[in-house]
Chain A
Protein backbone atom coordinates (compact mmCIF):
# COMPACT_ATOMS: atom_id res chain seq x y z
CA UNK A 1 0.00 0.00 0.00
CA UNK A 2 1.01 3.59 0.15
CA UNK A 3 3.89 4.73 2.27
CA UNK A 4 2.89 8.32 2.87
CA UNK A 5 0.10 8.74 5.40
CA UNK A 6 -3.11 10.36 4.15
CA UNK A 7 -3.53 13.85 5.58
CA UNK A 8 -6.44 16.21 6.01
CA UNK A 9 -4.91 18.33 3.20
CA UNK A 10 -5.06 15.29 0.93
CA UNK A 11 -8.77 14.91 1.62
CA UNK A 12 -9.46 18.53 0.65
CA UNK A 13 -7.30 18.25 -2.44
CA UNK A 14 -9.29 15.11 -3.28
CA UNK A 15 -12.56 17.04 -2.94
CA UNK A 16 -11.15 19.86 -5.10
CA UNK A 17 -9.76 17.33 -7.58
CA UNK A 18 -6.26 18.80 -7.61
CA UNK A 19 -4.26 15.69 -6.66
CA UNK A 20 -1.78 14.02 -8.96
CA UNK A 21 -3.38 10.86 -10.41
CA UNK A 22 -1.13 8.59 -8.35
CA UNK A 23 -1.94 10.27 -5.06
CA UNK A 24 -5.60 10.45 -6.00
CA UNK A 25 -5.58 6.67 -6.40
CA UNK A 26 -3.93 6.28 -2.99
CA UNK A 27 -6.54 8.47 -1.32
CA UNK A 28 -9.24 6.57 -3.20
CA UNK A 29 -8.12 3.23 -1.84
CA UNK A 30 -7.78 4.68 1.65
CA UNK A 31 -11.39 5.88 1.44
CA UNK A 32 -12.49 2.46 0.29
CA UNK A 33 -11.04 1.05 3.50
CA UNK A 34 -12.46 3.76 5.73
CA UNK A 35 -16.18 4.17 5.07
CA UNK A 36 -16.66 6.78 7.80
CA UNK A 37 -14.01 9.07 6.30
CA UNK A 38 -15.40 8.32 2.84
CA UNK A 39 -18.83 9.44 4.00
CA UNK A 40 -17.44 12.70 5.32
CA UNK A 41 -15.49 13.35 2.11
CA UNK A 42 -18.58 12.62 0.02
CA UNK A 43 -20.48 15.15 2.13
CA UNK A 44 -17.81 17.79 1.50
CA UNK A 45 -17.89 17.05 -2.23
CA UNK A 46 -21.68 17.51 -2.26
CA UNK A 47 -21.27 20.73 -0.32
CA UNK A 48 -18.83 21.97 -2.95
CA UNK A 49 -21.27 21.21 -5.76
CA UNK A 50 -24.15 22.82 -3.90
CA UNK A 51 -22.15 25.99 -3.30
CA UNK A 52 -21.10 26.21 -6.94
CA UNK A 53 -24.63 25.61 -8.17
CA UNK A 54 -26.04 28.22 -5.78
CA UNK A 55 -23.60 30.89 -6.93
CA UNK A 56 -23.49 29.99 -10.63
CA UNK A 57 -26.50 32.12 -11.63
CA UNK A 58 -24.65 35.30 -10.56
CA UNK A 59 -21.96 34.72 -13.16
CA UNK A 60 -24.63 34.22 -15.82
CA UNK A 61 -26.29 37.57 -15.24
CA UNK A 62 -25.79 40.22 -17.90
CA UNK A 63 -23.21 42.78 -16.73
CA UNK A 64 -24.64 46.07 -15.48
CA UNK A 65 -23.65 49.14 -17.54
CA UNK A 66 -21.30 50.51 -14.86
CA UNK A 67 -19.07 47.45 -15.30
CA UNK A 68 -18.39 48.15 -18.96
CA UNK A 69 -14.63 47.74 -19.11
CA UNK A 70 -14.03 49.24 -22.55
CA UNK A 71 -15.79 52.39 -21.45
CA UNK A 72 -13.58 52.57 -18.33
CA UNK A 73 -10.44 52.18 -20.40
CA UNK A 74 -11.63 54.81 -22.85
CA UNK A 75 -12.50 57.17 -20.01
CA UNK A 76 -9.06 56.83 -18.53
CA UNK A 77 -7.37 57.32 -21.87
CA UNK A 78 -9.19 60.62 -22.34
CA UNK A 79 -8.32 61.78 -18.83
CA UNK A 80 -4.66 60.94 -18.76
CA UNK A 81 -3.34 62.02 -22.18
CA UNK A 82 -1.44 58.82 -22.84
CA UNK A 83 0.70 60.58 -25.42
CA UNK A 84 2.74 61.87 -22.49
CA UNK A 85 3.07 58.41 -21.03
CA UNK A 86 3.94 56.53 -24.15
CA UNK A 87 6.52 58.91 -25.50
CA UNK A 88 9.30 57.34 -23.46
CA UNK A 89 10.38 60.69 -22.33
CA UNK A 90 12.57 62.69 -20.13
CA UNK A 91 12.91 66.39 -19.99
CA UNK A 92 13.68 66.99 -23.60
CA UNK A 93 15.47 70.23 -23.49
CA UNK A 94 16.51 70.71 -27.04
CA UNK A 95 20.12 71.61 -27.20
CA UNK A 96 21.46 74.40 -29.31
CA UNK A 97 19.98 77.76 -30.07
CA UNK A 98 19.42 78.56 -26.40
CA UNK A 99 22.69 79.87 -25.13
CA UNK A 100 21.21 82.15 -22.51
CA UNK A 101 21.46 79.78 -19.61
CA UNK A 102 25.12 79.09 -20.07
CA UNK A 103 26.02 82.78 -20.04
CA UNK A 104 24.02 83.35 -16.91
CA UNK A 105 25.76 80.70 -14.85
CA UNK A 106 29.04 82.57 -14.83
CA UNK A 107 27.70 85.66 -13.06
CA UNK A 108 27.68 84.71 -9.38
CA UNK A 109 29.93 83.04 -6.86
CA UNK A 110 27.25 80.48 -6.10
CA UNK A 111 28.14 76.77 -6.10
CA UNK A 112 27.78 75.15 -9.44
CA UNK A 113 28.21 71.82 -11.05
CA UNK A 114 26.81 68.46 -10.18
CA UNK A 115 27.23 68.93 -6.41
CA UNK A 116 24.94 71.96 -6.47
CA UNK A 117 22.34 70.10 -8.50
CA UNK A 118 22.46 67.13 -6.11
CA UNK A 119 21.99 69.48 -3.17
CA UNK A 120 19.03 71.24 -4.75
CA UNK A 121 17.38 67.91 -5.51
CA UNK A 122 17.88 66.78 -1.91
CA UNK A 123 16.42 70.04 -0.56
CA UNK A 124 13.41 69.66 -2.81
CA UNK A 125 12.96 66.07 -1.72
CA UNK A 126 13.24 67.00 1.97
CA UNK A 127 10.70 69.79 1.65
CA UNK A 128 8.11 68.32 -0.70
CA UNK A 129 8.19 64.52 -0.34
CA UNK A 130 6.95 64.47 3.30
CA UNK A 131 4.16 66.91 2.39
CA UNK A 132 0.82 65.11 2.70
CA UNK A 133 -1.35 68.04 1.70
CA UNK A 134 0.16 69.38 -1.48
CA UNK A 135 3.39 67.61 -2.44
CA UNK A 136 2.99 68.70 -6.03
CA UNK A 137 1.59 71.86 -7.52
CA UNK A 138 0.13 70.23 -10.63
CA UNK A 139 -1.12 66.69 -10.42
CA UNK A 140 -0.46 63.85 -12.82
CA UNK A 141 -4.05 64.10 -14.07
CA UNK A 142 -3.09 67.49 -15.52
CA UNK A 143 0.17 66.35 -17.05
CA UNK A 144 -0.42 68.30 -20.26
CA UNK A 145 -0.84 71.51 -18.27
CA UNK A 146 2.24 70.71 -16.17
CA UNK A 147 4.38 70.14 -19.23
CA UNK A 148 3.17 73.34 -20.86
CA UNK A 149 3.89 75.41 -17.76
CA UNK A 150 7.34 73.97 -17.11
CA UNK A 151 8.37 74.07 -20.75
CA UNK A 152 7.40 77.73 -20.77
CA UNK A 153 9.44 78.52 -17.68
CA UNK A 154 12.50 76.54 -18.75
CA UNK A 155 12.18 77.88 -22.26
CA UNK A 156 12.46 74.40 -23.69
CA UNK A 157 10.08 71.59 -24.55
CA UNK A 158 9.87 69.29 -21.54
CA UNK A 159 8.67 65.71 -21.24
CA UNK A 160 8.07 63.64 -18.14
CA UNK A 161 9.89 60.34 -17.47
CA UNK A 162 7.65 57.30 -17.30
CA UNK A 163 8.74 55.15 -14.35
CA UNK A 164 5.85 52.68 -14.44
CA UNK A 165 8.22 49.83 -15.25
CA UNK A 166 10.20 50.65 -12.12
CA UNK A 167 6.99 50.54 -10.09
CA UNK A 168 6.60 54.28 -9.63
CA UNK A 169 3.51 56.29 -10.57
CA UNK A 170 3.74 59.95 -11.47
CA UNK A 171 2.07 62.08 -8.79
CA UNK A 172 2.74 65.37 -10.53
CA UNK A 173 5.29 68.12 -10.47
CA UNK A 174 6.17 71.71 -9.81
CA UNK A 175 8.69 74.38 -10.60
CA UNK A 176 11.33 74.88 -7.91
CA UNK A 177 13.72 77.77 -7.38
CA UNK A 178 17.46 77.12 -7.38
CA UNK A 179 20.46 79.41 -7.36
CA UNK A 180 20.81 78.50 -11.02
CA UNK A 181 17.29 79.43 -12.00
CA UNK A 182 14.10 77.44 -12.26
CA UNK A 183 14.22 73.65 -12.20
CA UNK A 184 11.53 71.11 -12.90
CA UNK A 185 10.65 68.66 -10.15
CA UNK A 186 8.58 65.54 -10.74
CA UNK A 187 7.39 63.34 -7.91
CA UNK A 188 6.47 59.66 -8.04
CA UNK A 189 5.25 57.10 -5.57
CA UNK A 190 5.07 53.33 -5.47
CA UNK A 191 2.46 50.96 -4.04
CA UNK A 192 3.95 51.31 -0.56
CA UNK A 193 3.71 55.08 -0.69
CA UNK A 194 7.45 55.70 -0.85
CA UNK A 195 8.26 58.70 -2.97
CA UNK A 196 11.06 59.66 -5.32
CA UNK A 197 11.82 63.00 -6.87
CA UNK A 198 13.39 63.75 -10.24
CA UNK A 199 14.89 67.21 -10.52
CA UNK A 200 16.25 68.59 -13.76
CA UNK A 201 17.52 71.89 -15.05
CA UNK A 202 20.03 73.22 -17.53
CA UNK A 203 23.57 73.15 -16.11
CA UNK A 204 25.60 76.30 -15.73
CA UNK A 205 29.19 76.32 -17.02
CA UNK A 206 30.51 73.54 -14.85
CA UNK A 207 29.72 69.90 -15.49
CA UNK A 208 27.97 70.17 -18.81
CA UNK A 209 28.59 66.46 -19.09
CA UNK A 210 29.16 64.42 -15.96
CA UNK A 211 28.87 60.70 -15.26
CA UNK A 212 26.24 59.43 -12.85
CA UNK A 213 27.39 59.97 -9.26
CA UNK A 214 25.80 58.79 -6.04
CA UNK A 215 25.12 61.30 -3.30
CA UNK A 216 23.66 61.04 0.20
CA UNK A 217 22.52 63.58 2.73
CA UNK A 218 20.79 62.50 5.90
CA UNK A 219 18.10 59.94 5.11
CA UNK A 220 17.92 60.85 1.43
CA UNK A 221 20.10 59.24 -1.19
CA UNK A 222 20.35 60.09 -4.83
CA UNK A 223 22.12 59.96 -8.17
CA UNK A 224 23.04 62.97 -10.26
CA UNK A 225 24.47 63.29 -13.76
CA UNK A 226 24.51 65.67 -16.72
CA UNK A 227 24.16 65.04 -20.43
CA UNK A 228 24.67 67.73 -23.05
CA UNK A 229 24.21 70.59 -20.62
CA UNK A 230 21.12 69.22 -18.91
CA UNK A 231 21.48 68.01 -15.32
CA UNK A 232 19.37 65.39 -13.62
CA UNK A 233 19.11 64.13 -10.09
CA UNK A 234 16.94 61.33 -8.71
CA UNK A 235 16.44 61.38 -4.94
CA UNK A 236 14.56 59.10 -2.59
CA UNK A 237 14.71 57.30 0.70
CA UNK A 238 14.98 53.89 -0.92
CA UNK A 239 18.39 52.20 -0.55
CA UNK A 240 20.90 53.26 -3.19
CA UNK A 241 20.90 49.86 -4.86
CA UNK A 242 17.16 50.05 -5.55
CA UNK A 243 17.31 53.71 -6.57
CA UNK A 244 20.11 53.23 -9.09
CA UNK A 245 17.94 51.31 -11.61
CA UNK A 246 15.39 54.15 -11.42
CA UNK A 247 18.12 56.69 -12.21
CA UNK A 248 19.36 54.47 -15.03
CA UNK A 249 15.85 54.34 -16.45
CA UNK A 250 15.50 58.13 -16.35
CA UNK A 251 18.86 58.48 -18.11
CA UNK A 252 17.96 55.84 -20.67
CA UNK A 253 14.71 57.61 -21.56
CA UNK A 254 16.42 60.99 -21.77
CA UNK A 255 19.06 59.63 -24.11
CA UNK A 256 16.50 57.77 -26.21
CA UNK A 257 14.95 61.00 -27.40
Chain B
Protein backbone atom coordinates (compact mmCIF):
# COMPACT_ATOMS: atom_id res chain seq x y z
CA UNK B 1 0.00 0.00 0.00
CA UNK B 2 3.03 2.24 0.29
CA UNK B 3 3.42 2.30 -3.48
CA UNK B 4 -0.24 3.19 -3.74
CA UNK B 5 0.21 6.25 -1.57
CA UNK B 6 3.23 7.32 -3.59
CA UNK B 7 1.48 6.85 -6.93
CA UNK B 8 -2.03 8.05 -6.16
CA UNK B 9 -1.58 10.96 -3.77
CA UNK B 10 0.08 13.29 -6.31
CA UNK B 11 -2.88 12.76 -8.66
CA UNK B 12 -5.58 13.86 -6.19
CA UNK B 13 -5.45 17.57 -7.17
CA UNK B 14 -6.05 16.65 -10.83
CA UNK B 15 -8.91 14.32 -9.87
CA UNK B 16 -10.50 17.14 -7.89
CA UNK B 17 -10.11 19.52 -10.80
CA UNK B 18 -11.77 17.10 -13.21
CA UNK B 19 -14.56 16.29 -10.77
CA UNK B 20 -15.21 19.96 -10.08
CA UNK B 21 -15.36 20.84 -13.75
CA UNK B 22 -17.81 17.99 -14.34
CA UNK B 23 -20.03 18.48 -11.29
CA UNK B 24 -19.67 22.26 -10.93
CA UNK B 25 -20.18 21.97 -7.20
CA UNK B 26 -17.36 21.74 -4.71
CA UNK B 27 -19.08 19.49 -2.17
CA UNK B 28 -20.43 17.05 -4.75
CA UNK B 29 -17.11 16.95 -6.55
CA UNK B 30 -15.07 16.22 -3.44
CA UNK B 31 -17.60 13.63 -2.42
CA UNK B 32 -17.07 11.97 -5.78
CA UNK B 33 -13.28 12.07 -5.41
CA UNK B 34 -13.59 10.55 -1.96
CA UNK B 35 -15.65 7.65 -3.35
CA UNK B 36 -13.12 7.26 -6.13
CA UNK B 37 -10.20 7.05 -3.69
CA UNK B 38 -12.02 4.60 -1.41
CA UNK B 39 -12.63 2.38 -4.41
CA UNK B 40 -9.04 2.74 -5.56
CA UNK B 41 -7.79 1.69 -2.12
CA UNK B 42 -10.00 -1.39 -2.06
CA UNK B 43 -9.17 -2.42 -5.65
CA UNK B 44 -5.52 -1.50 -5.76
CA UNK B 45 -4.46 -5.14 -5.99
CA UNK B 46 -6.86 -5.86 -8.82
CA UNK B 47 -5.47 -3.12 -11.01
CA UNK B 48 -4.16 -4.73 -14.21
CA UNK B 49 -3.27 -1.81 -16.37
CA UNK B 50 0.05 -0.20 -15.61
CA UNK B 51 -1.25 3.35 -16.04
CA UNK B 52 -2.47 4.50 -12.63
CA UNK B 53 -3.55 7.87 -13.94
CA UNK B 54 -6.04 6.60 -16.49
CA UNK B 55 -7.18 3.86 -14.09
CA UNK B 56 -8.12 6.52 -11.52
CA UNK B 57 -9.79 8.77 -14.06
CA UNK B 58 -11.82 5.79 -15.29
CA UNK B 59 -13.06 5.04 -11.77
CA UNK B 60 -13.90 8.69 -11.24
CA UNK B 61 -15.64 9.00 -14.56
CA UNK B 62 -17.77 5.89 -13.98
CA UNK B 63 -18.85 7.19 -10.59
CA UNK B 64 -19.72 10.56 -12.12
CA UNK B 65 -21.76 8.88 -14.85
CA UNK B 66 -23.68 6.93 -12.20
CA UNK B 67 -24.43 10.17 -10.34
CA UNK B 68 -25.66 11.91 -13.46
CA UNK B 69 -27.87 8.94 -14.26
CA UNK B 70 -29.29 8.80 -10.74
CA UNK B 71 -29.91 12.52 -10.73
CA UNK B 72 -31.74 12.45 -14.05
CA UNK B 73 -33.79 9.39 -13.15
CA UNK B 74 -34.92 11.19 -10.00
CA UNK B 75 -36.06 13.97 -12.26
CA UNK B 76 -33.94 16.70 -10.77
CA UNK B 77 -30.99 18.54 -12.15
CA UNK B 78 -27.52 18.17 -10.87
CA UNK B 79 -26.97 21.29 -8.87
CA UNK B 80 -25.12 23.86 -10.90
CA UNK B 81 -23.82 26.08 -8.22
CA UNK B 82 -21.52 28.92 -9.12
CA UNK B 83 -18.45 26.81 -9.66
CA UNK B 84 -16.08 29.70 -9.95
CA UNK B 85 -17.26 31.73 -6.99
CA UNK B 86 -14.74 31.96 -4.23
CA UNK B 87 -12.10 30.13 -6.17
CA UNK B 88 -10.16 32.97 -7.59
CA UNK B 89 -9.69 35.29 -4.65
CA UNK B 90 -6.02 34.42 -4.76
CA UNK B 91 -3.74 35.72 -7.47
CA UNK B 92 -6.19 36.30 -10.27
CA UNK B 93 -6.94 39.89 -11.02
CA UNK B 94 -10.55 40.90 -11.53
CA UNK B 95 -10.38 40.91 -15.33
CA UNK B 96 -9.02 37.36 -15.46
CA UNK B 97 -11.50 36.23 -12.86
CA UNK B 98 -14.41 37.29 -15.08
CA UNK B 99 -12.89 35.60 -18.13
CA UNK B 100 -12.41 32.40 -16.17
CA UNK B 101 -15.96 32.42 -14.83
CA UNK B 102 -17.20 33.04 -18.34
CA UNK B 103 -15.35 30.11 -19.92
CA UNK B 104 -16.47 27.77 -17.11
CA UNK B 105 -20.06 28.88 -17.59
CA UNK B 106 -19.82 28.14 -21.27
CA UNK B 107 -18.06 24.86 -20.68
CA UNK B 108 -20.99 23.83 -18.48
CA UNK B 109 -23.34 24.29 -21.42
CA UNK B 110 -21.64 21.55 -23.43
CA UNK B 111 -23.24 18.10 -23.43
CA UNK B 112 -21.65 16.04 -20.68
CA UNK B 113 -19.96 13.61 -23.08
CA UNK B 114 -18.24 16.42 -24.98
CA UNK B 115 -17.21 18.16 -21.77
CA UNK B 116 -15.60 14.98 -20.46
CA UNK B 117 -13.45 14.50 -23.56
CA UNK B 118 -12.38 18.13 -23.69
CA UNK B 119 -11.40 18.15 -20.01
CA UNK B 120 -9.47 14.87 -20.14
CA UNK B 121 -7.52 15.87 -23.24
CA UNK B 122 -7.06 19.63 -23.01
CA UNK B 123 -6.83 20.08 -19.24
CA UNK B 124 -5.74 16.74 -17.76
CA UNK B 125 -3.27 15.97 -20.58
CA UNK B 126 -4.46 12.41 -21.18
CA UNK B 127 -3.43 10.99 -24.54
CA UNK B 128 -6.27 10.37 -27.00
CA UNK B 129 -5.82 6.63 -26.45
CA UNK B 130 -6.01 6.97 -22.66
CA UNK B 131 -9.08 9.19 -22.90
CA UNK B 132 -10.70 6.50 -25.05
CA UNK B 133 -9.91 3.92 -22.37
CA UNK B 134 -11.23 6.09 -19.56
CA UNK B 135 -14.48 6.78 -21.37
CA UNK B 136 -14.68 3.28 -22.82
CA UNK B 137 -15.27 4.56 -26.35
CA UNK B 138 -13.32 4.14 -29.62
CA UNK B 139 -10.56 6.64 -30.28
CA UNK B 140 -12.41 7.90 -33.37
CA UNK B 141 -15.30 8.89 -31.11
CA UNK B 142 -12.87 10.72 -28.83
CA UNK B 143 -11.66 12.74 -31.83
CA UNK B 144 -15.11 13.60 -33.10
CA UNK B 145 -16.34 14.61 -29.62
CA UNK B 146 -13.22 16.67 -29.06
CA UNK B 147 -13.76 18.45 -32.35
CA UNK B 148 -17.41 19.15 -31.63
CA UNK B 149 -16.68 20.28 -28.07
CA UNK B 150 -14.02 22.74 -29.22
CA UNK B 151 -16.09 24.16 -32.06
CA UNK B 152 -19.09 24.62 -29.86
CA UNK B 153 -17.19 26.21 -27.01
CA UNK B 154 -15.44 28.49 -29.48
CA UNK B 155 -18.75 29.64 -30.92
CA UNK B 156 -20.02 30.33 -27.42
CA UNK B 157 -16.89 32.30 -26.59
CA UNK B 158 -17.09 34.28 -29.80
CA UNK B 159 -20.72 34.98 -29.08
CA UNK B 160 -21.57 33.71 -32.56
CA UNK B 161 -23.71 30.75 -31.64
CA UNK B 162 -25.92 32.71 -29.29
CA UNK B 163 -26.52 35.51 -31.76
CA UNK B 164 -27.10 33.32 -34.79
CA UNK B 165 -29.16 30.86 -32.81
CA UNK B 166 -31.42 33.66 -31.60
CA UNK B 167 -31.86 35.03 -35.06
CA UNK B 168 -32.98 31.70 -36.42
CA UNK B 169 -35.42 31.19 -33.58
CA UNK B 170 -36.84 34.69 -33.98
CA UNK B 171 -37.42 34.20 -37.68
CA UNK B 172 -39.15 30.93 -37.10
CA UNK B 173 -41.43 32.49 -34.53
CA UNK B 174 -42.50 35.46 -36.65
Chain A positions within 8 Å of B, measured between CB atoms, are 8-9, 12-13, 15-16, 18, 40, 43-44, 47-48, 50-61, 63-64, 66-67, 69-70, 72-73, 76-77, 164-165, 167, 169, 191
Among A12, A13, A57, A191, point to the contact of B92 (Cβ < 8 A): A57
B80 at the interface (CB under 8 A from A): no
Is B37 in contact with A58, judged by CB distance below 8 angstroms? no
Q: Which residue of A lies closest to B96 (CB)?
A: A53
Chain A residues, Cβ within 8 Å of B12: 63, 67, 69
Q: Which residue of B lies closest to A40 (CB)?
A: B154
With A52-B123, A53-B96, A67-B12 in contact, do A58 and B118 touch (Cβ < 8 Å)?
A: no
Chain A residues, Cβ within 8 Å of B154: 40, 43-44, 47
B137 at the interface (CB under 8 A from A): no
Among A40, A51, A64, A191, point to the contact of B123 (Cβ < 8 A): A51
Among B42, B45, B118, point to the contact of A51 (Cβ < 8 A): B118
Chain A residues, Cβ within 8 Å of B4: 69, 73
Is B99 in contact with A44, judged by CB distance below 8 angstroms? no
Is B100 in contact with A54, judged by CB distance below 8 angstroms? yes
Q: Which of B15-42 contact A (CB under 8 A)?
A: 16-17, 20-21, 30, 33-34, 37-38, 41-42
15 contacts between A and B (CB under 8 A): A44-B150, A44-B154, A47-B150, A50-B157, A54-B101, A55-B17, A57-B90, A60-B90, A63-B13, A67-B34, A72-B38, A73-B4, A73-B41, A164-B46, A165-B45
Among A8, A58, A72, point to the contact of B20 (Cβ < 8 A): A58
CA distance A44 to B34 in the complex (A): 33
Give, as a whole number of angstroms, the nearest-CB distance from B1 to chain A.
Answer: 5
Chain B residues, Cβ within 8 Å of A165: 45
With A61-B16, A69-B8, A72-B37 in contact, do A55 and B46 touch (Cβ < 8 Å)?
A: no
Among A9, A51, A57, point to the contact of B88 (Cβ < 8 A): A57
Is A77 in contact with B1, judged by CB distance below 8 angstroms? yes
Interface size bracket, B side: 35 or more
Among B37, B104, B153, point to the contact of A69 (Cβ < 8 A): B37
Give, as a whole number of angstroms, the nearest-CB distance from B47 to chain A.
Answer: 10
Chain B residues, Cβ within 8 Å of A64: 30
Is A9 in contact with B143, judged by CB distance below 8 angstroms? yes
CA distance A55 to B13 in the complex (A): 11
CA distance A165 to B48 in the complex (A): 9
B127 at the interface (CB under 8 A from A): yes
Chain B positions within 8 Å of A, measured between CB atoms, are 1, 4-5, 8-9, 12-14, 16-17, 20-21, 30, 33-34, 37-38, 41-42, 45-46, 48, 84, 87-88, 90, 92, 96, 99-101, 103-104, 107, 118-119, 121-123, 127-128, 143, 146-147, 150, 153-154, 157-158
Among A47, A52, A59, point to the contact of B153 (Cβ < 8 A): A47
With A53-B96, A66-B30, A76-B42 in contact, do A58 and B16 touch (Cβ < 8 Å)?
A: yes
Is B16 in contact with A59, judged by CB distance below 8 angstroms? yes
Give, as a whole number of angstroms, the nearest-CB distance from B52 to chain A.
Answer: 13
Give, as a whole number of angstroms, the nearest-CB distance from B157 to chain A.
Answer: 6
Chain A residues, Cβ within 8 Å of B107: 51
Give, as a whole number of angstroms, the nearest-CB distance from B54 to chain A.
Answer: 15
Is A8 in contact with B16, judged by CB distance below 8 angstroms? no
Is A66 in contact with B34, judged by CB distance below 8 angstroms? yes
Q: Which residue of B lies closest to A18 (CB)?
A: B127
With A16-B121, A69-B8 in contact, do A51 and B103 touch (Cβ < 8 Å)?
A: yes
Chain B residues, Cβ within 8 Å of A164: 45-46
Give, as a whole number of angstroms, the nearest-CB distance from B124 to chain A.
Answer: 9
Chain B residues, Cβ within 8 Å of A53: 96, 100
Chain B residues, Cβ within 8 Å of A44: 150, 154
Q: Which residue of B lies closest to A56 (CB)?
A: B17
